[in-house]
Amino acid sequence: MQHFEVNFDGLVGPTHNYAGLSFGNVASLSNAKSSSSPKSAAKQGLAKMKALQEMGMVQGVLAPQERPDIYALRRLGFQGSNEQVLRKAAAEAPAIFRACCSASSMWTANAATVSPSADTMSGRVHFTPANLTNKFHRSLEPQTTGRILQAMFANSRYFEHHQHLPDNEHFGDEGAANHTRFCNDYGNAGVELFVYGRYAFDSSKPAPQQYPARQTYEASAAIARLHGLSDENVVFMQQNPAVIDQGVFHNDVIAVGNQNVMFYHEQAFLNEQQGFAELEAKLGQPMHFIKVPTSAVSVEDAVKTYLFNTQLITLKPGHMIIIAPTECEEHPGVKAYLESLIAGNTPIKDVRFFDVKQSMRNGGGPACLRLRVALNDQELAAVNPHVILTDALFSRLNQWVDKHYRDELSIDDLIDPSLLDESRTALDELTQILHLGSVYPFQQD
């Protein structure tokens, strides 16, 4: 049997914009209200997907969501025709309106937590969409995310789907961004590391003071239970509250792991030694803990360049490469660090830089754009084949973007009611391209 790590990248949606919606995410706040390019954002994402496919990885596509979210606006009391709802919301509650326009579902590392079949009691792959309760604009995602995942992984013999956790900050869950699976080989039982920012039911424990901790211990523990993981293959670690207060709003902004490698910043975790010892003991083999000291890269530079929001992928046994944003290449200190890393004696042998600046300006690097799903060949054969990237799908999606996406979108353009129709027309066609069925609310009216 063969095993793969498949990366499902989020397609950027037609309303991609910079609304400054994410308190605690430095890039989102500092680029608020700049104009965006949905077309180049989508194409940058597609180019990264294609490059990974050409490297021999199995690459998948995850569809974006319908925005503006007219249903959320109606639920909040805006009434009338669609056009009236949009106009009233934009005039009376512009901040809420902008939140309902966000294309944030593109960051699919926050779409769900996924446990591969080798780790779970049922022997199936488990999916739980993240509830994303900490940010209103993101809390609009989980239901549609669940429908899209069910349309992609539609075989109940291999795949088990759970409802997202209760929509409450006590169970704030940000999905795979705070979850890393370590293993010898993708097909072997692994150890799943859940990183949380605070305890919801015990305020005496350490927590950040300035910015929110989006993931709670209680949410992480609930996901481990739902997925049928055993104590022997789960480790919980707390993020260092001090780095959350410096803009590390998800653990994947300060650490990335793959197989037996943990690449991380020295300030990333609380109780690092204890957590890593448990991880290594449960994995049952030595790990490579590649620690980046503050003296080499400060937390501020890590947040600025997204050195850790990189993809660490295995191209062949023992040969891993880093997929980094061009911001890392443009920063002399980080670039020098990466050069020394790949020259050293670790499984990380190379680095490739990708321009995903449209996403980076909202705090989304290469790792935010993808959801990792480890699958064996039978499971892969059971995935909806139309969401797996091929040369033909790549050109079809580029044509689709060219046809439907705007070159430029200013924050004021969001009030144009035709954006809703454009987005719906595009998404309706996309569900046909990807054979998803009627996953969007507007298709079910």
Three-state DSSP class for residue 335? helix
Minimum CB distance to ligand SUG smaller for 190 or for 364: 364
Sheet harboring 234-238: ordered strands across?
Answer: 179-182, 191-196, 234-238
Q: Is 183 a catalytic residue?
A: no
The dihedral formed by the CA atoms of 197, 364, 104 and 154, expressed in degrees to the nearest 10: -80
Minimum CB distance to ligand SUG smaller for 324 or for 368: 368
Three-state DSSP class for residue 287? coil
Q: Is 280 a catalytic residue?
A: no
Three-state DSSP class for residue 95? helix
Minimum CB distance to ligand SUG smaller for 59 or for 362: 362
CB of 346 to ligand SUG, least distance (A): 24
CB of 31 to ligand SUG, least distance (A): 8
CB of 430 to ligand SUG, least distance (A): 21
Three-state DSSP class for residue 372? strand
DSSP 197: S
Q: How far is CA 442 from the centre of its chain?
A: 25
User: Which of 164, 218, 368, 379 is flagged as catalytic?
Assistant: 368
CB of 25 to ligand SUG, least distance (A): 4
- What number of residues does the chain have? 445
Q: Which residues, at least 6 apart from 65, have a Cβ–Cβ distance to it below 8 Å?
A: 13, 103, 105, 140, 141, 144, 145, 440
d(CA 348, CA 104): 30
CB of 239 to ligand SUG, least distance (A): 12
User: Which of 16, 126, 250, 404 is flagged as catalytic?
Assistant: 250
How large is the angle between the packed helices 391-404 and 38-54, nearest 10 degrees?
180
Minimum CB distance to ligand SUG smaller for 41 or for 348: 41
d(CA 26, CA 365): 13
DSSP 392: H
Q: Which residues bind ligand SUG (CB under 6 A)?
A: 18-22, 25, 28, 102, 104, 107, 109-110, 135, 138, 177, 249-250, 252-253, 362-364, 368
Query: Which tokens hold the place of 297?
Result: 């890269």
- Among candidate residues 105, 150, 68, the one with its CA nearest the CA of residue 424: 68
d(CA 24, CA 244): 8
Q: Which residues, at least 6 apart from 362, have a Cβ–Cβ distance to it below 8 Å?
A: 18, 22, 25, 27, 28, 31, 104
Q: Is 330 a catalytic residue?
A: no
CB of 71 to ligand SUG, least distance (A): 19
CB of 251 to ligand SUG, least distance (A): 9
d(CA 363, CA 249): 9
Q: How far is CA 288 from the centre of its chain?
A: 24
User: Which of 66, 174, 218, 327 is flagged as catalytic?
Assistant: 174
Minimum CB distance to ligand SUG smaller for 18 or for 394: 18
Q: In sequence order, what are the beta bridge partners of 7?
A: 59, 372
Minimum CB distance to ligand SUG smaller for 20 or for 241: 20
Minimum CB distance to ligand SUG smaller for 238 or for 362: 362
Minimum CB distance to ligand SUG smaller for 195 or for 393: 195
CB 324 within 8 A of CB 353: yes
Q: Is 389 exposed, middle or buried (0-12, 13-18, 19+ CB in 10 A)?
A: buried
CB of 179 to ligand SUG, least distance (A): 11
Catalytic machinery residues: 174, 250, 368
